[in-house]
Amino acid sequence: MSQLMKVSSNPHVRSHITTSNIMLAVIIALLPAAGFGIYNFGLDALILILVTVATTVLTEYIYEKLMHKPVTIGDYSAVVTGLLLALNLPSTAPWWIGVVGGIFAILVVKMLFGGLGQNFMNPALGARCFLLISYTSIMCNFNTDAYSGATPLAQLKAGENVDILKMVIGKTAGTIGETSMIAIVIGACFLILLGVIDLRIPGTYIVTFIVFLCLFGGRGFDPAFISAHLAGGGLMLGAFFMATDYVTRPVTKKGQYLYGVLLGILTGVFRLFGPSAEGVSYAIILGNLLVPLIEKITMPKPFGKGGEHA
């Protein structure tokens, strides 16, 4: 034979799923929510999204160049982080909030811990919580031309009535990407159909949260109250796009159910008993920190040792 053959250890074939395909699918799935945010809040929202995404991608690029590491922005994970972070910002936030948040997300939460796959908490959520603590007034300012005053969840907490239909569609105050339940669910269905995410975590998360509301919400089984809580705040965006983040959720199946239950309870505790109306971000971040422990106690039984039916 004239030329040399490629030799490697088996298996010799690979599937066509790649990291960048998966990230691209997540980006596409976030577009309905982003699009609705821009429609709802106008040009401010668009600018903030673009600035944040540009910051996250540039931060990763510059860091890797300076550290003489292979540049990995081609896997689009920085775009996902930037987009998720922007969707968690209020449209009233100045552009530099996107820059500060973007740098924090990529540099501190992701790259300093070893880059993609090594971060122990969701970079976008880590940055959001950092911004919430550092710039509380900016992060909680939801007064726009279209809306004044509080988010539906804050109104609900204050005992006021909310318009559930508007909440489901998303014509309410809130962060750029969290208001429209419909847009988020459309994106989530796309990811579920592609097999990128499954319902294990979002399903148990939402069901646990509903049960928690019924038990401790003080309203019993009140469909209106429950729907308002589901459609309001960051629950949908959090459950489908942030709790399912591969890197920071448990890899074991049982662990994923446990994680979903934990998030449901934590969100309920924060929303009902905490000082803030919101609770999803903190619940997921806290859940992230417990992942190594959850994985440790939920290692599956192998085939032939009781695990064959799993």
Partner 1 sequence: MARLTFSGGIHPYDGKDMSKSKPIKDVDPKGELVYPLSQHIGTPAKPVVAKGDHVLAGQLIAEAGGFVSAPIYASVSGTVKGIEPRRVVTGDNVMSIVIENDGAYEEVEWPAAIDFDSEEYASMTKEEKLERIRKAGIVGMGGAGFPTAVKLSPKEPEKIEYVIVNCAECEPYLTSDYRKMLEEPERLIGGLKIALSLFDNARGILAVEDNKPDCITRLKHLTKNETKITVKALKTKYPQGSERQLIFAATGRAINSSMLPSDVGCIVNNVDTVIAIYNAVMEGKPLMYRIVTVTGDAIADPRNFRVRIGTIYEELVEEAGGFKEPPVKIISGGPMMGFGIFDLKVPTTKTSSALLCMTKDDVSAMEPSACINCGKCVEVCPGRVVPKKLAEYAEHYDEEAFVKNNGMECCECGCCSYICPAKRPLTQTIKSMRRMQLAKKKK
Least distance CB 250 / partner 1 (angstroms) = 9
* 205 contacts 264 by C-beta, under 8 angstroms: yes
Q: Of the candidates 112, 146, 251, 297, which one interacts with partner 1 according to CB under 8 A?
A: 251
Residue with structure tokens 């969840």? 153
* 213 contacts 156 by C-beta, under 8 angstroms: no
Residue with structure tokens 């975590």? 201
Which part of the chain contacts partner 1 (CB under 8 A), choosing from 3-11, 87-95, 186-194, 206-214? 3-11
Q: Does 4 bind partner 1 (CB under 8 A)?
A: yes
209-213-216-220 Cα dihedral, nearest 10 degrees: -150
* 237 contacts 178 by C-beta, under 8 angstroms: yes
Q: Of the candidates 94, 149, 292, 302, which one interacts with partner 1 according to CB under 8 A?
A: 302
Least distance CB 67 / partner 1 (angstroms) = 15
Number of other residues whose CB lies within 10 A of the CB of residue 134: 13
Beta-bridge partner residues of 302: none
Which part of the chain contacts partner 1 (CB under 8 A), choosing from 7-15, 141-149, 152-160, 208-216? 7-15
Q: Of the candidates 94, 113, 118, 165, which one interacts with partner 1 according to CB under 8 A?
A: 118
Q: Which of residues 139-198 bind partner 1 (CB under 8 A)?
A: none
Give whichever of 68 and 305 is closer to partner 1, judged by the CB atom. 305
Cβ burial 43-52 (10 Å sphere, 16+ → b, else e)? ebbbebbebb
Which part of the chain contacts partner 1 (CB under 8 A), choosing from 170-178, 228-236, 263-271, 302-310? 302-310
Q: Does 254 bind partner 1 (CB under 8 A)?
A: no
Q: Of the candidates 61, 95, 147, 246, which one interacts with partner 1 according to CB under 8 A?
A: 246
Amino acid identity of residue 88, one-letter, is N
Q: Does 301 bind partner 1 (CB under 8 A)?
A: yes
Residue (of 143, 125, 162) closest to 245 by Cα position: 125
DSSP string, 213-277: HHHHSSS-S-HHHHHHHHHSTTHHHIIIIITT-GGGS-SSHHHHHHHHHHHHHHHHHHHHHSSSS
The 33-72 site mask, x for binding partner 1 (CB under 8 A), equals ---------------------------------------x
Check residue 89 and give left, alpha or beta (phi > 0: left; psi -120 to 50: alpha): beta
SS3 196: coil
Q: Of the candidates 107, 199, 247, 286, which one interacts with partner 1 according to CB under 8 A?
A: 247
Q: Does 5 bind partner 1 (CB under 8 A)?
A: yes
Structure tokens at 5: 């053959």
Q: Does 122 bind partner 1 (CB under 8 A)?
A: no
Where on the chain is the footprint of partner 1 (CB under 8 A)? 1-15, 17-19, 21-22, 72, 75, 77, 115-118, 246-249, 251-253, 295, 299-305, 307-310
